[in-house]
Amino acid sequence: MKPAPFVRHVPRTLQQALAMLSQLAGQDGRILAGGQSLVPIMAFRLAKPAHLIDINEIAGLDRLDSDGTALTIGARVRHAAFHGPAVDNPLAALLSYVARHIAHYPIRMRGTFCGSLAHADPASEWCLTAATLGATMIAKSQRGEREIAAADFFEGIMSTALAEDELLAEVRLPLLAADAKFGFNEFSRRAGDFAMASSLVTYRVADGKISEARIGVGGAESSPRRIEEAESALNGQPPGDPAFRAAALAASDAVDPLEDHQTNAEYRRDLVRAVVRRALEHSLT
């Protein structure tokens, strides 16, 4: 369980990193941030990158700040940065609650938010968060900079819209309305394991009725996404058991379930129904 040979490069500036990436991407070059997914995969020799471009020494990639409309999260920001409030907005409580479900404490001290998104594991809590809240990805390369909407970013299991010479330099998460409600739930067989299904929901309530519902489902399909059918079942309804059950059932019917040895399609739908309903119930607590 030793990785195949590789060369580690340690750029000091973003420009150096992008230049290296441009040069090495075609020769199996990969970005190393927290390494909590990449390094184990390398140990199993499931990935054998010839070059690792280690961005941990680059100043400025650790920004975590808000301009009043969105929270900007730099490529070096660790999961643990969200244990406490990251911004003066209801989003902080959401991120803090979600972060506690990511793996185990030592992993959260090292793994990064942007790294999770670039890795695009279907079960990732941050991918679900980005998809549900409509994050904007800032991809940088020597060719320039571009913005990618979350809905266009995730392309499948561990596959994104990033070109091989692009670094996911920042992610912008829109702030929530002051009266926004959120709820989160995930299912795994052991604490800290990858979620077999997860759901993040946000909505507002006006005149006793739900509006602006966002219902995201993760771990169930090849990428996390919002489930429109479930959101429609919720919008315009009063928050409570009947609407929550209807939305959960709609989500469960709408997904195209991933299957593996411990989760067949039927069971995955069961789990989606359970996590969506529980995320909605959590929004009331």
Number of residues in contact with another protein under rule CB under 8 A: 25
Q: Which stretch binds another protein (CB under 8 A): 11-19, 55-63, 114-122, 269-277?
A: 269-277
The encoded tokens of residue 247 equal: 């939305």
236: Cβ–Cβ under 8 A, 6 or more apart, which residues?
209, 210, 211
Nearer to another protein, 89 or 263 (CB): 263
Distance CA(156)–CA(185), nearest Å, equals: 22
With contacts defined by CB under 8 A, name the span among 62-70, 130-138, 191-199, 237-245 that binds another protein.
191-199
Cα separation values, 68 from 74, 86, 177, 178, 196, Å: 17, 13, 11, 12, 35
Q: Which of 35, 235, 274, 281 binds another protein (CB under 8 A)?
A: 274
Select 45 or 143, whichever has its Cβ closest to another protein: 45
> Locate tokens 């244990």: which residue?
83
H-helix segments, 25-165: 38-43, 90-99, 105-110, 113-119, 125-133, 150-153
Span near another protein by CB under 8 A; candidates 70-78, 176-184, 225-233, 263-271: 263-271
Sole binder of another protein in the list 57, 65, 152, 193 (CB under 8 A)? 193
Question: Is residue 106 involved in binding another protein (CB under 8 A)?
Answer: no
Q: Tell which residue, 55, 98, 92, has the closest CA to residue 76.
A: 55
User: Could you say whether residue 262 binds another protein (CB under 8 A)?
Assistant: yes
Binding region for another protein (CB under 8 A): 1-2, 4-5, 44-45, 187, 189-194, 260-264, 266-267, 270-271, 273-274, 277
